[in-house]
Amino acid sequence: MRRRVSERYTVLLTRTGKEPKAFSFRPVVILLALMTVFSWAAVTGFLYARNVSLHRAQAKLEDLSRRARELSLQLSRQKNRNDQLADEAAKMLTDLDALEAQIERLRERAGLPKVKLTPVKSADNDGKGGGIPLDTVGLLRLTSERIKALRSDLSTKVEPALKKTLKRESARPYGLPLRVHTYIASGFGTRRNPFGRGYEFHNGVDLPAWYGTSIYATAPGVVVEDGWSSIFGKHVVIDHGFGYRTLYGHMSKVLVKKGQSVERGQVIGKVGSTGRSSGPHVHYSVFIWGKAVNPVPYLSTPSYAKR
């Protein structure tokens, strides 16, 4: 059996004028050396690459942090804007509350029943959320819904009713037909007949004044009578609409004609004692749909007329 001679690699280094030097290695040594070189290169390369990606990551992180700061700024700005909107919406709701109260007064004035148009207060705080405040969008939606409801109520109910009420009020007679001091010498109702036996129904009030004192219309209207009667003597009847009529009797002078329009406070005649009268005075009657009513409540000026 032949003994296996191990292979060797020889490196000759020659130098001019010198003996060459021989280095001989076993292959395993060469392999180890090569492996060492490659390992070093690999580790170095890896470290280098890692370093690069680390720098990249750091740069990326920095960028992200900057963007986060920007976003945070934007968010706070947005939040401020949101708060502003919420404040505005809340203020609008407060304004609407005031407006609704105003409309409620108008409703009352128009003789409409009291209603709660929109249960806003409860939706605000006592709703299903159990005290969870409404967000801006919710507030704005609520506001616009209320505006819609109020507008509809105002135009379809309150306005027509108010117009009618104001017309009726403006047609209603009020105040004395005299501008001088007077008193009720004889009231409305059944009284002893001042000119004979028994009792009679007195359908108005007697207001004494000096002969020739001006008599004023107690509401605007149209003269429907300017005649003479045995009871009221020279007298005027004015139709005010809405069923209201007034009669002024015992005049010495009638200053208006049948069919003539008169204003509230217009002079229509002078105090006298014509007809069945025992002295100068105005007999003043108020009729509603043809029926005489006690004029006393009509003699004072109502609060709405004082404003």
> Which residues contact Zn ion by CB under 5 A?
206, 283
What's the min distance (Å) between Cβ of 232 and Zn ion? 8
Q: Which of 248, 107, 118 is nearest to 165 (CA)?
A: 107
Using alpha carbons, list the distances in angstroms from residue 69 to 10, 57, 64, 81, 210: 67, 18, 9, 18, 94
- Let me know: does 240 contact 224? Beta carbons within 8 Å: no
- Mapping DSSP to helix (H, G, I), strand (E, B) and coil, where does residue 32 land? helix
Residues 6+ apart with CB under 8 A from 257: 223, 226
* Nearest residue (CB) to Zn ion, 153 versus 206: 206
Residue whose beta carbon is closest to Zn ion: 283
What's the min distance (Å) between Cβ of 98 and Zn ion? 51
* Nearest residue (CB) to Zn ion, 221 versus 249: 249
What's the min distance (Å) between Cβ of 213 and Zn ion? 16
Show the tokens assigned to 199.
């009792």
What's the min distance (Å) between Cβ of 231 and Zn ion? 8
Report which secondary-structure segment, H or E, holds 16.
Answer: none
What's the min distance (Å) between Cβ of 279 and Zn ion? 11
What's the min distance (Å) between Cβ of 250 and Zn ion? 7
* Nearest residue (CB) to Zn ion, 143 versus 274: 274
* Nearest residue (CB) to Zn ion, 150 versus 272: 272
Q: Give pairs for 102-105: CB < 8 Å, separation 24+.
A: 103/150, 103/153, 103/154, 103/158
Show the tokens assigned to 304.
């709405």
How far apart are alpha carbons 169 and 136 in whole angstroms?
45
* Nearest residue (CB) to Zn ion, 206 versus 226: 206
What's the min distance (Å) between Cβ of 173 and Zn ion? 17
Residues 6+ apart with CB under 8 A from 69: none
What's the min distance (Å) between Cβ of 186 and Zn ion? 6
Sequence length of the chain is: 307
Region label for 287, one of left (φ > 0), alpha (ψ between -120 and 50) or beta (otherwise): beta
* Nearest residue (CB) to Zn ion, 61 versus 296: 296
What's the min distance (Å) between Cβ of 219 and Zn ion? 20
- Mapping DSSP to helix (H, G, I), strand (E, B) and coil, where does residue 92 land? helix
* Nearest residue (CB) to Zn ion, 100 versus 206: 206
* Nearest residue (CB) to Zn ion, 86 versus 207: 207
- Let me know: does 222 contact 259? Beta carbons within 8 Å: yes
Positive or negative: CA dihedral 125, 129, 130, 133: negative
How far apart are alpha carbons 48 and 303 in whole angstroms?
97
* Nearest residue (CB) to Zn ion, 146 versus 250: 250
